[in-house]
Amino acid sequence: MLDLMSSWVSHFRTPPAELVVLGMNDEELAANPAATQRLVHDLNADPRVPLPDADVDAAVCCVSIDYLTRPVEVLAEVGRVLRPGGPLAITFSDRCFPTKAVRGWLATDDRQHGAVVAELVRRTGRFTEPTVSLRTPPGPGDPLYAVVATRLP
């Protein structure tokens, strides 16, 4: 599994047997106990994912899609490194670092965020129709939304 834009923690109840973490901070990636492979790489500077074609079974991007400056290129690369039929899950909440988020993210609400992320996935041409869902029950606490699609054959 590929954990895109990762850091010192990967958000899995049970980590996968093999987890490739890709992020910008070597020290944070080294502190991630779930990681079996670490890739220090700035996707805003270079949107290429430094992995071979069809190399991973699944990919996640947890609460970081709002920081990508070239998201369609990055997601197309994720489609390239995913095996056909592999799932992509992109999650986000109503929180972000406003100084790091792209302007369009800051100008939209959660419902619009889901529509935007789904459209980014569509524009790659590499995935099935994405679904957008609220993954937490309504009520106190931060909402967590997910956009999920599958790599086309």
pLDDT digits over 66-113, tens only?
888 999 999 999 999 999 999 999 998 765 555 666 566 666 676 787
pTM, two decimals, is 0.89
Q: Which of these, 27, 15, 22, 94, lies nearest to 61 by C-alpha position?
A: 22
Mean pLDDT of 17-25: 96
The range of the structural domain enclosing residue 72 comes to: 2-150
CATH number of the domain encompassing residue 29: 3.40.50.150
| Interatomic CA distance for residues 59 and 19, integer angstroms | 10
Whether the predicted pLDDT of 35 surpasses 80: yes
pLDDT bracket for residue 44 (50, 70, 90): very high
For the chain, what percent of residues have pLDDT higher than 90?
68
The total of other beta-carbon atoms located within 10 Å of residue 40's CB is: 15
Domains of the chain: total: 1
Closest CA to 69 of 109, 120, 115: 120
Look up residue 20 and give its amino acid.
Answer: V
Longest dimension (CA), the chain: 42
Q: Which amino acid is located at 142 in the chain? A: D
Query: Rg of the Cα trace of the chain?
Result: 15
